[in-house]
Amino acid sequence: MALLYLIGLLSLLISCPVPLKAAPPVSRSILFERAVACVKHFEGWHTARNHPYIGYGHKLLPGEKLDSNLTKAQGDSLLRADLRKRWITFRRFGKDALLLAVLSYNVGESKLLGYGKVPKSNLIRKLEKGDRNIYREYISYRKYKGKVVHSIERRRKHEFVLLHIP
């Protein structure tokens, strides 16, 4: 029931004719709850066959003593902890930190920030220059093996609408 409510809310937000700039400011806690709900919706519940991912997409790290026999509450707690860590990683980007945290939960931090021979993403470079007109760069993370996946594109659009603060 709650999932249907969330889907309805997401649909309403995306199709709403009122410009997002006219909306009143949203608190950090509300934004965080939006991020959690969005990730849960698009990640779904991971079982043993999704190894090394458990819960709502938590990637098992070396040495972690967890398995896929989690309760939904444990999965929720793991997701929240993961998002908070990533939010802290991207805090220097201010209003865009949570949006980047959610994106990195799906694509990985090194894909955005760069690591070794992997260069910094165009999205991060643009934000570092102070340019927050990042819709096109954000939506560009919609491919798998070089091909556009419409479900991933839909996810990025939902994330952007829910979490980008003008």
DSSP annotation of 96: G
* Gyration radius (Cα) of the chain, Å: 16
pLDDT of residue 126: 97
**CB count, 10 Å around CB of 35?**
23
What whole-number percentage of the chain has pLDDT above 90?
Answer: 70
For residue 26, the model assigns a pLDDT of: 78
Distance CA 163, CA 86 (A): 15
On whether the 29-163 domain is CATH 1.10.10.10, my answer is: no
Cβ–Cβ under 8 Å, residues 103 and 138 = yes
10 CB neighbour count, 10 Å cutoff: 19
Which pLDDT tens digit goes with each residue over 40-69?
999 999 988 888 899 999 999 888 888 878
Q: Is 80 helix (H, G, I), strand (E, B) or coil?
A: helix
What residue spans define the domains of the chain? 29-163
**Structure confidence at residue 15 as a pLDDT band (50, 70, 90):** very low
**pLDDT exceeds 60 at position 128:** yes
The pLDDT tens digits for 89-120 are 999 999 999 999 999 999 999 999 999 999 99
If you write DSSP's letter for every residue of 21-61 in order, what string do you get? Answer: GGSPP--HHHHHHHHHHHHHHHH--B-GGGTTEEBTTEEPP
Beta bridge partners of residue 147, listed in sequence order: 144
> Cα 75 from chain centroid?
16
The encoded tokens of residue 52 equal 């090394």
d(CA 23, CA 30): 14
pTM, entire model: 0.83
